[in-house]
Amino acid sequence: MPIQPGTHQLGPDHGTLSVKTQRTGAAAKAGHNLLIHVTSWEATLTLGEDPAESSLSLNADPTSLRVIEGTGGMQSLGDDDKENIQKTINDDVLKAKGIEFRSTEVQSSGDGKLTVKGDLTLTGKTSPVSFDLTIGDDGKLSANAVVKQTNHGMKPYSALFGTLKVVDEVEVEIDGTLPSG
């Protein structure tokens, strides 16, 4: 049964919005690849009869990012480490400025796939981004986008005199289910 046109409100009750970072540099072994969940967000997905009539908007609270896990590294991340990373993200990376996405174009790629193009605003700077959004007949949806931090005026985090760095491109994923009714 295909997804019916209409407006769908999404948020943490309907899915997971996550950010994945990778590390690089001579001291990369000392750092961790991070899985971060955004715990406060809302999205509106409007599906039109014609995909060109569809739109997607998303707002996320930049202070709601929570480190879920860190892989790699010389030792596992403790709760204090996670809290310190979250503080660095809030204070130095996102600077507590809102996160917004607004679609400018939606095209059907077939088989429940939509190509979404739009504007992403991070730290007050807006840059274009595009990604595929897949919606299954069962209402399951998923999307994956690569966001380049420097496109938003963000300097990727580095430590140990620059020998440990977060890769400029971070992966943003959403996995969820359209609300019924």
Residue-range domain boundaries for the chain: 6-177
Q: Which residue has the tokens 């990727």?
A: 156
Domain at 6-177: CATH code: 2.40.128.110
Provide mean pLDDT across the span 87-101.
88
Cα(163)–Cα(160) distance, integer angstroms: 5
The model's pTM is 0.89
CA atoms lying within 13 Å on the CB side of residue 133 = 27
pLDDT of residue 170 exceeding 90? yes
- A 10 A CB-CB count for 104 gives 11
CA distances from 8 to 42, 136, 157, 160 (A): 11, 15, 35, 45
Alpha-carbon distances, residue 37 vs 18, 54, 60, 64, 128 (angstroms): 4, 26, 11, 8, 22
Which stretch of 95-99, 110-114, 118-122, 127-131 has the lowest confidence by average pLDDT?
A: 110-114
Q: Give yes or no for residue 1 having a pLDDT over 50.
A: no
Amino acid at 61: D
